[in-house]
Protein backbone atom coordinates (compact mmCIF):
# COMPACT_ATOMS: atom_id res chain seq x y z
CA UNK A 1 0.00 0.00 0.00
CA UNK A 2 1.31 3.43 -0.97
CA UNK A 3 1.21 6.21 1.58
CA UNK A 4 0.09 9.37 -0.21
CA UNK A 5 2.10 12.37 0.94
CA UNK A 6 0.96 16.00 0.78
CA UNK A 7 2.61 19.35 1.44
CA UNK A 8 0.89 21.60 3.97
CA UNK A 9 1.50 25.31 4.44
CA UNK A 10 -0.22 27.29 7.16
CA UNK A 11 -0.30 30.80 5.72
CA UNK A 12 -2.70 31.95 8.45
CA UNK A 13 0.40 31.97 10.66
CA UNK A 14 2.52 33.91 8.16
CA UNK A 15 4.91 36.23 9.97
CA UNK A 16 6.56 38.88 7.84
CA UNK A 17 9.48 40.52 9.55
CA UNK A 18 11.28 43.69 8.44
CA UNK A 19 14.60 41.84 8.62
CA UNK A 20 14.94 38.23 7.64
CA UNK A 21 12.84 35.64 5.87
CA UNK A 22 9.10 35.18 6.40
CA UNK A 23 7.97 32.29 8.57
CA UNK A 24 4.81 30.17 8.51
CA UNK A 25 3.70 26.63 9.14
CA UNK A 26 5.10 24.11 6.65
CA UNK A 27 5.18 20.31 6.89
CA UNK A 28 4.40 17.09 5.09
CA UNK A 29 1.47 14.89 5.98
CA UNK A 30 1.40 11.20 5.17
CA UNK A 31 -1.21 8.70 6.35
CA UNK A 32 -2.02 10.63 9.53
CA UNK A 33 1.59 11.40 10.46
CA UNK A 34 3.27 14.77 10.05
CA UNK A 35 6.87 15.69 9.28
CA UNK A 36 8.70 17.36 10.93
CA UNK A 37 5.48 17.79 12.96
CA UNK A 38 2.04 19.34 12.65
CA UNK A 39 2.32 23.11 12.96
CA UNK A 40 6.07 23.15 12.18
CA UNK A 41 7.07 26.79 11.69
CA UNK A 42 9.96 27.56 9.36
CA UNK A 43 11.23 30.01 6.75
CA UNK A 44 8.45 29.19 4.33
CA UNK A 45 9.52 31.35 1.36
CA UNK A 46 13.01 29.86 1.42
CA UNK A 47 11.88 26.24 1.89
CA UNK A 48 9.25 26.51 -0.85
CA UNK A 49 11.82 28.14 -3.15
CA UNK A 50 14.20 25.24 -2.60
CA UNK A 51 11.35 22.76 -3.09
CA UNK A 52 10.21 24.25 -6.40
CA UNK A 53 13.81 24.35 -7.66
CA UNK A 54 14.33 20.71 -6.62
CA UNK A 55 11.16 19.52 -8.36
CA UNK A 56 12.16 21.44 -11.48
CA UNK A 57 15.55 19.67 -11.55
CA UNK A 58 13.80 16.30 -11.17
CA UNK A 59 11.42 17.07 -14.03
CA UNK A 60 14.30 18.14 -16.26
CA UNK A 61 16.20 14.94 -15.34
CA UNK A 62 19.08 17.03 -14.00
CA UNK A 63 19.27 14.75 -10.97
CA UNK A 64 17.88 11.45 -9.72
CA UNK A 65 17.03 12.76 -6.25
CA UNK A 66 16.96 16.06 -4.41
CA UNK A 67 17.34 16.72 -0.70
CA UNK A 68 15.55 19.73 0.76
CA UNK A 69 16.49 20.82 4.26
CA UNK A 70 14.24 22.67 6.61
CA UNK A 71 16.05 25.73 7.94
CA UNK A 72 15.10 25.14 11.57
CA UNK A 73 16.09 21.84 13.11
CA UNK A 74 17.91 18.87 11.63
CA UNK A 75 15.16 17.83 9.21
CA UNK A 76 15.26 17.06 5.50
CA UNK A 77 13.13 15.53 2.78
CA UNK A 78 14.60 13.62 -0.15
CA UNK A 79 12.46 13.55 -3.29
CA UNK A 80 13.10 11.17 -6.16
CA UNK A 81 11.17 9.77 -9.08
CA UNK A 82 10.43 6.08 -8.90
CA UNK A 83 9.69 3.67 -11.77
CA UNK A 84 5.95 3.92 -11.08
CA UNK A 85 6.16 7.53 -12.29
CA UNK A 86 5.53 8.91 -8.83
CA UNK A 87 7.64 10.90 -6.42
CA UNK A 88 9.10 9.05 -3.46
CA UNK A 89 9.56 11.24 -0.39
CA UNK A 90 11.95 10.06 2.31
CA UNK A 91 11.99 12.06 5.54
CA UNK A 92 15.12 12.38 7.65
CA UNK A 93 15.70 13.68 11.18
CA UNK A 94 18.90 14.22 13.10
CA UNK A 95 22.36 15.66 12.58
CA UNK A 96 24.74 14.77 9.74
CA UNK A 97 22.01 13.94 7.25
CA UNK A 98 19.89 12.19 9.84
CA UNK A 99 18.18 8.86 9.80
CA UNK A 100 15.10 8.00 7.76
CA UNK A 101 12.03 8.36 9.96
CA UNK A 102 9.24 8.13 7.37
CA UNK A 103 8.59 7.44 3.72
CA UNK A 104 5.74 8.23 1.39
CA UNK A 105 4.87 8.76 -2.25
CA UNK A 106 2.93 11.32 -4.22
CA UNK A 107 1.45 11.44 -7.68
CA UNK A 108 3.84 13.79 -9.52
CA UNK A 109 1.27 16.15 -11.03
CA UNK A 110 -0.80 16.37 -7.85
CA UNK A 111 2.27 17.12 -5.71
CA UNK A 112 3.46 19.78 -8.17
CA UNK A 113 -0.02 21.33 -8.30
CA UNK A 114 -0.13 21.52 -4.49
CA UNK A 115 3.38 22.98 -4.36
CA UNK A 116 2.56 25.55 -7.06
CA UNK A 117 -0.76 26.56 -5.53
CA UNK A 118 0.69 27.02 -2.06
CA UNK A 119 3.71 28.92 -3.42
CA UNK A 120 1.45 31.23 -5.44
CA UNK A 121 -0.77 31.90 -2.40
CA UNK A 122 2.30 32.69 -0.34
CA UNK A 123 3.64 35.12 -2.95
CA UNK A 124 0.21 36.77 -3.25
CA UNK A 125 0.10 37.22 0.52
CA UNK A 126 3.60 38.71 0.55
CA UNK A 127 2.57 41.20 -2.14
CA UNK A 128 -0.68 42.02 -0.36
CA UNK A 129 1.22 42.84 2.82
CA UNK A 130 3.79 44.92 0.97
CA UNK A 131 6.62 42.56 1.80
CA UNK A 132 8.93 41.39 -0.93
CA UNK A 133 12.43 39.98 -0.69
CA UNK A 134 15.15 38.34 -2.77
CA UNK A 135 13.81 34.99 -1.45
CA UNK A 136 10.31 35.81 -2.77
CA UNK A 137 11.82 36.89 -6.08
CA UNK A 138 13.69 33.59 -6.31
CA UNK A 139 10.59 31.55 -5.48
CA UNK A 140 8.61 33.39 -8.14
CA UNK A 141 11.34 32.82 -10.73
CA UNK A 142 11.52 29.08 -9.97
CA UNK A 143 7.73 28.87 -10.07
CA UNK A 144 7.59 30.49 -13.52
CA UNK A 145 10.20 28.01 -14.81
CA UNK A 146 8.26 25.12 -13.30
CA UNK A 147 5.05 26.28 -14.98
CA UNK A 148 6.83 26.52 -18.34
CA UNK A 149 8.25 23.02 -17.85
CA UNK A 150 4.75 21.67 -17.10
CA UNK A 151 3.35 23.40 -20.21
CA UNK A 152 6.04 21.68 -22.29
CA UNK A 153 5.07 18.29 -20.83
CA UNK A 154 1.43 18.59 -21.87
pLDDT tens for residues 106-152?
A: 999 999 999 999 999 999 999 998 888 999 999 999 999 999 988 87
Neighbouring CB atoms inside 10 A of 94's CB total 13
Sequence spans of domains, the chain: 5-149
The structure's pTM equals 0.93
Half-sphere exposure of 16 (CA within 13 A, CB side): 16
Give tens-digit pLDDT for 31-88. Answer: 889 999 999 999 999 999 999 999 999 999 999 999 999 998 899 999 999 988 899 9
Amino acid sequence: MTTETHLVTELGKLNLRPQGPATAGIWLTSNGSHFPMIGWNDFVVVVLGWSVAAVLRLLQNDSASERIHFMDGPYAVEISRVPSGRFQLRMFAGPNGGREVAKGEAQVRQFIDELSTQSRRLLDECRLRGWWSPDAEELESHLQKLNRELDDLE
